[in-house]
Amino acid sequence: MRWHCQPHGLPPFFHSFPCIQCSPLRERNESVPLMIVTQKITTLAFQLHDGICKKSEQLTSEQKHVAIRVRPSLIEYLSYNLNFLSVLVGPCSNYRDYVDFIEGKHISCRLKQHPATCNGQNGYDKTPDLSPLNAVCRKLLVCCGCMFLFLVITRSLPITYNADNHFVSHASFLTRLTYAFFSIQAARPKFYFAWTLADAVNNAAGYGFLGMDESGKPSWDLVSNLNIIGIETATSFKTFIDNWNIQTGIWLKTVCYDRAPKHRLPLTFILSALWHGVYPGYYFTFLTAIPITIAARAIRRSIRHYFIGSKVLKLGYDIVTWAATQLAICYTVMPFLLLSVDHTIVYYRSMYFHVHIISILAAVALHRKHKPREASAANNSAPPVSLSSSSSTAACPAQCQPVHSNNNDKVN
C-alpha cells in the first residue's frame, strides 16, 4: 500500500503544503489505474495464498472457489494486472475468470453451470443469442444519457457551492439541505458513465458473461460495477452501498472484511479510505459511514417488522427510508467530493452535524437492545461494502473445455 499511497500524496506536497487543509476540488483521474492495479495485486496475492498456504477446511466456500493453486507465470501475472480492458478504470475481477477468458472458455464455463441451456456442443445452446451486442448497445446508450446529464445538469450544480460562505450564511437550512441533495444527485452521472463504459468495453471483448438469468436470457453483468436502479431506489444504507462500485466492494470483502479477526466494519471502511488516497475528505466520508452503518442496521432491526404486515404501511416505510437513505448518503459523500478539511467543516457546520448526532445516539441507544443478536450475526451478516451476485466468485468446472479464442465467433 505504501507505493500506492505515495503518488496520491505527491500533488498536495508539490503544489503547496497547506493543501492538506484547503486542497482544491480537482479530478484525481491519473491515480485510478494505480488504484485498480492495487486491487488486482492484492486479490491475486490472497487467492494464491489461500490456494497454496491454507488447507481446504480453513477456507470459506467463496475462498475455495477462487483459490489459485498454481503460481501464474510472469506473462500471466502482467497480463492480468495490465490488460487494456481494465487498466484505466477497472473493474477488478477474479484471476480465474480472467484466465478462462484468455483461454477461450469463459462463456462455456458459465454455461456449464446451467446444463438445461447446453446442447453438448461447446456448451452452447442454439436457442438463446449469447452475443454481447445487445448488452453493449444498451450500456452505451446509458453512457450517452449519463454524458448528457453531466454536461447539462452536473455543471449547473457545483458541489463546492455547498461550502460557499455567502450561500451558507444567507440560505435557510431547508434550502441548504435541498441544494446538497440535488448537487449530490447531479454528481453521480460521471461515475455512472465511467463504470458503465468500462463494463461495455469488457463485454464488447467477450468478457463479463455471468450466465443465464431466471428468464433464460444471457446476462453480461459479471464485471458490472453498479446497478443504477438499485442505487436510485435504495431504501437502506447497505442497499445503496451494495449497488455502488460493486467490484470494489467485493475486493474489500475478500481482502479485509472476511479476514479481519475483529472490528471488521471500521477496518474495512478505513482500508477503503486508504485505497482512495490521502485527501482528508475521503477519511471524513468513510469514518462518518461507520456510525451511520451501525445505526442503520440497529434501526432497521428495531422497527421494520412493524411495517411489513400491511401494503400501505410498507409503502410508507419504503418512502420514508428512501428519503432518509438518500439524505444520509448525501451527507456522508459530500466530503468525498469537497476533498479539503475547511470545505468539509463548513458544510458539516451548515448541517449542524445532525446526521453524526442522530446516528451516534441511535447506535448507542439500540446497541444493548440488540447486542445478543449482533454478536451471533457477526459471523453471518454481509459486510458494509457491496457484493454482487455469488456467481461472480463461482469456480469454473474442471470439465470446461476451451471454445473459440475470442469468445464471440461462435456465440450465435
Catalytic residues: 245, 276
- Cα separation, 127 vs 140, whole angstroms: 25
DSSP letter for each residue of 82-150:
H-TTTTTT-----HHHHHHHHTT-HHHHHHHT-GGG--SBTTB-SSS---THHHHHHHHHHHHHHHHHH
**Cβ atoms within 10 Å, residue 380:** 6
**Nearest 5°: phi and psi at 316?**
-60, -40
**Helix, strand, coil % (nearest 5) of the chain?**
65, 0, 35
**Cβ atoms within 10 Å, residue 405:** 13
Residue 337: enclosing H or E segment and its boundaries? helix 311-338
- Cα separation, 354 vs 331, whole angstroms: 9
CA diameter of the chain: 71
Check the CA dihedral 369-373-376-380 and report its sign. negative
- Cα separation, 347 vs 353, whole angstroms: 9
- Cα separation, 80 vs 58, whole angstroms: 27
- Cα separation, 283 vs 210, whole angstroms: 34
Cell numbers found for residue 361? 445516539
What residues form DSSP beta bridges with 219? 211
Coil, strand or helix at 220: coil
**Nearest 5°: phi and psi at 211?**
135, -165
What residues form DSSP beta bridges with 218? 212
